[in-house]
Amino acid sequence: MNEMVDQAKLSTDTAEAVAVPNGVFAQEVLEVEHYTDRLFRFRITRPDAFRFRSGEFVMIGLPGPKPVWRAYSVASPSWDDTVEFYSIKVPDGPLTSELQKIQPGHTLWMRKKPTGTLVVDALLPGKRLWMFSTGTGIAPFASLIRDPEVYEKFDQVILTHTCRDVAELAYGEHLVNEVKNHEFLGELAEGKLTLFNSVTRDPSFPRQGRITDLMASGELFEQLGVPPINPEDDRGMICGSMAMLKDTKAALEGFGLEEGSNAKPNTFVVERAFVG
């Protein structure tokens, strides 16, 4: 039996027999939902001592003597009493090949210290916030668009989500609908929150293409009825594949925006510690 199968078994049957490392929470899986053969989300219990800012990530792993740790953005907002994650399934992935098998009642390990750059504190004040995501890169924005602070700081919030196929857009669409229909968040997001999604491999969907191409052609701004990005009004956050990060960063710099950080806020930020 290989190491990862051992870990999967430990996470289900004998987790209580494995010593939890220092600096790690051992939490119960509450809910698992599979969207496609590539994508799923899951919720775990939230430790009383766990504090994070919406948009940050943590390291998670399966219980075992030699756990594999990967960075996962927290998809739930900072006020939620559970912790949600959105994950890709990698058939041969050291972690996700087994993580996708978790069920309610199983145990998951989560390191105690969150971090990350996709937080509103890393941005200078502005009018319009762009959240650029591909695939499971939407996860930190799932947290942010459910945070009241985002709507207090920005007049308009535009979430872009690009995937290969229409089925992969379901998480983002459900998420935005949930926010708009929420008894409290709905009032804050009304007239402010917009979802712009597109696909790259499914000709049946009306919006086609990579977000950088849609920016370059002006189609993105035309369809949304907003002016092209400018450093006076617009702020950006980017999360996705390494190639997407590079291209979108270059696009924003072409509009005159400058990359910031927690230590030095500016007009856009990038999350580089990302799985999927």
Q: Could you state, in chain order, the average pLDDT of each consecutive group of 10 residues for the chain (276 residues)?
A: 40 61 97 96 97 96 94 96 96 92 97 96 98 96 97 98 96 96 95 97 92 97 97 98 95 98 97 64
**Whole-number Å distance between alpha carbons of 65 and 199:** 41
Give the model's pLDDT for residue 274: 55
- DSSP strand pairing (156-163 vs 128-134): parallel
**Whole-number Å distance between alpha carbons of 54 and 58:** 12
* DSSP string covering 220-231: HHHHHT-PPP-T
Give the model's pLDDT for residue 74: 97
Q: Which residues contact 190 (CB under 8 A, 6 or more apart)?
A: 180
pTM for the complete prediction?
0.91
- Please name the amino acid found at residue 3: E
**Whole-number Å distance between alpha carbons of 148 and 146:** 6
Give the model's pLDDT for residue 2: 35
**Whole-number Å distance between alpha carbons of 102 and 50:** 22
Give the model's pLDDT for residue 16: 52
Give the model's pLDDT for residue 275: 43
Contact criterion met (CB below 8 Å) for 154 and 194: no
Written in H, E and C, the secondary structure of 69-115 is CEEEECCCCCCCCEEEEEEECCCCCCCHHHHCCCCCCCEEEEECCCE
